[in-house]
Structure 1
Amino acid sequence: MTSRNEAAPAPRRGLAEKRQAITRAARTVFGRDGYSRASIDAIAAEAGVSTRTIYNHFAGKELLFRTVVQESAGEVSDAQLDVIERHLAKVTDLETDLVTLGLDWVAALTTFADHFALVRQINAEAAHLPKDLLDAWQATGPRRAMIELGIRFGELADQGLMDAPDPARAAQHFVLLVGSEVTQRSYWGAHPLAPSETEEIVTAGVQAFLRAYAARPAR
C-alpha cells in the first residue's frame, strides 16, 4: 500500500493506448529516417515502450510500416473528403468555391506535416518498397480522395456548372493545377510557402482549370 508521502505508481497503459503510441512514434521515425534506416529500437525509444512490446503488436518492421502508411493516408483522405463535401456539396460561385477548396486541399501539407514527411520518404524509397504496399497507400489515401473529387465534378457537370466529359480526368487536372507547384516549391511541405504565395498559385490554377472546364454558353 502506498503511503501518503510516496507517489502512486503510474497506471499501466492499455493495449490500445500502447498500440497508438507505437504507431505515432513509428510515423515520426519513418518520416524522419525513412524505412530502410529506421530501427525498431528507435521506434521503441520514441514510443517509450520496449522492443518486445512492439513485437507483441506487430510481427516486424515491414508490417508496422504498412500499418502506419495506411492509417496515416486514411486520416488525410478523410480530411480531404470533408473538404470536398464542405466546398462542393452546394456551389454558389464556382470559381470562389474552387479556390477555397484548393487552399484547403494544399493546407494538408502543413496540417498533416508528419504524414507528408512520411510521403517524402516513400517517394525517395519507392524503387525499394513492395509495389503492393505502394498500391495500398494510394488506394487508402490519394486515389480515394481523387475518386470522390471526380464524382463531385461529374455532379457539377450534370448541373450545368462544368463541362467535364471525363470528370475523373478533370479531378486529376484540378489537383495538378492547384497543388503541384505548391507541393514542389515547398518540398512536400518541408518548407511551407507564405500564405500569399500559396493563394496566388491556387487562384491561378483554378482560373486555368476553369478555362478548360467551365460550362460553355448555350448556343
Structure 2
Amino acid sequence: MAERPIRLAIVDDDPFVRAGLAMLLRGAGDIEVVAEGADGAEAVALTDAHAPDVILMDIRMPGVDGLVATERLRARPRAPQVIVLTTFDADDYVLRALRAGAGGFLLKDTPPLEILRAVRIVAAGEAMLSPAVTRRLIDRVADPAAAARRGEARERLARLTGRERELAAAVGQGSSNAEIAAALRMSVPTVKAHVSRLLAKLALNNRVQIALLVQDASS
C-alpha cells in the first residue's frame, strides 16, 4: 500500500509566489497542496480546516505575520511542520521563527528541486537547516540577550550524558539521522529514539531547536 502524500499548505501574501510554488509542488507525486493563504491568520484557519503536514510560511505579511502564526501553530499538540520563506534582510525574524519551532527555512530564490527536498525532509521530522547559514544568521543579529542564552544553553547541555551531548552536537552540525547512525555506530531507529528522548529531556519540540541550543552554547 502506497504511503499517503504529504499534505502541504502555502502561506504568502504575494499571489504570484503562491501560484508558482503551487504549480511546482503539485507536480510532485508525493506532495498534495491542500490549501493556500495570504497571511498568518489564514494559516491558523487553514490548519484547522485542512490539517496540513507542512506549511511553507512567508514571514513578512500584513496583519498577522508568519512569525506570530508559527509561534501559535507550533505551540499546539500535533502541530504542522513549518518551513519559513525569507530573504536575508529578515534575519532576526528567521531566528525567532526557528526558536518558535519552525523546521527550517528557505530563501525565496531556492531552486525548485531544493524546495521539494526541503518539504520531504521536514515532513519526515528532520531539519532543513545548514549550520553555516545558522551561524551567519546568528552573527548578523545584534542580540543583547546572547550572553544570557549562552549561559542557559551551556547549563542545559551540561545536564545531558556524554552520549546525549554527542548526539546533540551531531544534530547541531546539521547531520541527518543516517549520518549520525554511521558516525556513532547505531541503527537509524535507535538514533530516532535517542533524538526523541533528547527533545523530551531538553523540553524542545524539534531538532532545529537542538541545533540552535548547541549554537547558543558555543557562541
TM-score category of the 2 structures, normalised to the smaller one: under 0.3
Q: Would you tell me which structure has more strand in proportion to its own residues?
A: 2
The higher radius of gyration belongs to: 1
Q: Would you tell me which structure has more helix in proportion to its own residues?
A: 1
Which structure's relative contact order is higher, taking Cα pairs within 8 Å and 6+ residues apart? 1
With structure 1 as the length reference, what TM-score do the two structures score? 0.27
With structure 2 as the length reference, what TM-score do the two structures score? 0.27
